[in-house]
Chains A and B, each alone.
Chain A
Amino acid sequence: MSTPLAQVDRDREASRGRLPPLVGTLTIRRLREALARDAVRRQVYEHLASIAEIEGAHGPAALLRELAESSGALADGHIDLLRRAGEPLTGAPMGGAVSSLRAVLRDLEGDLDEGLAGDAETAAAEGFPDIASWFRSVRAQRVDHAARLMAAQTEGGAA
């Protein structure tokens, strides 16, 4: 049986000694913002690279893909540091795989409760029926993801 990641983190935390707690600081806010920016960059660069490939511009496409990969690695680095303050999506304490499933589920449920349904209504009210339909489609998939996460937790294993 391998050592739970949470234990590794706690061990590292102890060895870090005099560092202040990260929770509630401006630094953690900046880290979260940096994660959001780099995660978005990764995705947008990938998208632009796909279009460049379709256009036959393989040089620019390769550069965009490399930058996307690099942004992804930076986002991963932000997550590494954010882990000190708990699981990055919800701030819940880091634990094993089952605990991670629980955290991801909690984040998804928040999105389902507060986000996507209202987003569809906003888009419809502002005259964008297609974007409203997109939000509803996304929500349908998220509901399915949440069901899979719940099932995986019940089984006590991975999704």
Chain B
Amino acid sequence: MAEFYDKESVRAPMSQRLQRFEPPSDTQAIGALVSVTIDGKELKVPLGTTILEASKKVGVRIPTLCYHEDLCVAGVCRICVVEVEGQPRLQASCAYPITAPIKVKTHTRQVRQARRHILDLLLSKHYGECYACFRNNNCELQALAKEYGVDFFRFGHPEKPRYRIDRSSPSVIRDMDKCILCRRCVRTCIDLQEVGVLEVNQRSNRSKVITFGEKPLGDVICINCGQCINRCPTGALRANDPTDDVWAAIDDPTKHVVIQTAPSPRAGIGECFGLEPGVPLTFEMNTALRRCGFDKVFDTNFSADLTIIEEGTELLQRLHKALVQKDKMVRFPQFTSCSPGWVKFCEHFYPEFLDHLSSAKSPQQMFGAVIKTYYAKLNDLDPKNIVTVALMPCSAKKFECNRPEMCDSGYKDIDYGLTTRELAQMISEAGIYLPAMPKSDFDDPFGTATGSGVIFGATGGVMEAALRTVIELVCGIQVEDLFAHADITPVRGFDGIRFMELPIKKVGPVPELLKGLFEDWDWLVGATLKVAVAHGTANAKRVMEDIKAGGPCSECHFIEFMACPGGCLGGGGQPIPTSPEIRAARARAIYAEDAAYEVRKSHENPAIVRLYTEFLTEGPCSHLSHHLLHTAYTPRGKYIV
């Protein structure tokens, strides 16, 4: 199992790893540390450290474009060039591993001129006006142009678009006129996510970022995770923006516009207003949303709790079928189905495993179905006049809400999916400075949520929430008895793949909620529940291959998959930029919010209890809940005909 924890193995394929410096095996002879002087500041760094990494340590800033902390080195943009004493040419600092003592100068005349020259050349092919671009003020190219004092276009500037904007995908829009060929999206798609939608074709001045066969993005095998958007330095990639439609719904007096907000955007939206990453603005956002004109503001955590109940019951049902009824058709491990990027990934690359996916819908879609049925009845509203908006950290959610099967309420369960960035835009448009808003709570009847719902935003959160509920419902004990403060730490963290085993030593009585489905838990005594967590589709792929090969993952009962690195908090709809530190800060915000909740377990959520007594009276995984809260998947395959 050790190879799963090996950080190298969960990243770029062989071809990319060769670009990294392999430190000599006998470091004693050469000395493991090497001294380097950067702009007169001397320091010692481990062999193989790049000049760029070393310069960060002494606080020297070197500009970068194609370099990204999450991605392997490309060294294509050359903006990070520096002068290395004794070398005739400038060197790209991001791709220069230090193997001998060197002296580096980062802003000599030659360097400054080269950088300015590169910028001028990039701008000579970059079509687009900054004030008509969604990345205005958040664009790395624009920032560099300012930094290097670009005040005219030395090599001209395109006056007409050369490419047609590709709007075929429901999630991601591609505008190649703004592309500077840094290949961050290519490395994201091929190496980080291992989906393989984008690549560079042709040579030299004809090269361009393309999809397979230069087909529209909507027709190729894209899982809509939007990681490329988060890493694009310019506005070449962006999410499909429905804010105009949302405003139109708000302005229409006949429409009852309801918004649900997911946990991750709260931890990230502050970044759009200039705050440090990791400042949660949950309750400020509620006020701002009401001022924008939304009629009701609900918490997706409610339906996250609902998902836990449904998905957890499904797991128990599967276990019951396998252990008691000896049903050979039951598939293990069960996979989570909350991440629409992962679901589409599975449909494309592992269609033979669709039976493993939990049939439970994602929290977003469950909420939509509940709002247009239960909530409509409760408030005597016509569901056709209800507009459901979902604030998500995700671009794949836009695809999910447009899936044809997601209409179980008789209407489109969720009408519009908004990303964190788009909501920040709407809030600014309403003249609101979010951090200064007074705090207010969510609306009833779904106002109360639990800490379990909040942690859905971080990788391992779904698993932790499910375990909290399953332990209590089955074992009849408090989670706190097993884990301090109910923090199930083995599933937390940012390791690519994490395992946990939970032996069930004793069982309690079957709770009221599940009485219709199970008579007792005696059949679970002595069993060991094995679970795993994977984030990022590259890790998901590793888990799937391991299951195919019959490795440790195939022995698990339940596996949580998240398409994006870090889980939803690193989603494709979150504020740009992203980095491991930013994601860690957002995770801290999410876990802090969890710890602050009084109720931290899904099954204790009073709103959930009420829903099952008033509406879904037959209990979880019943006929009605299957109709509204569960779905089926499409085997898509990876061939494009």
Partners in one complex: no
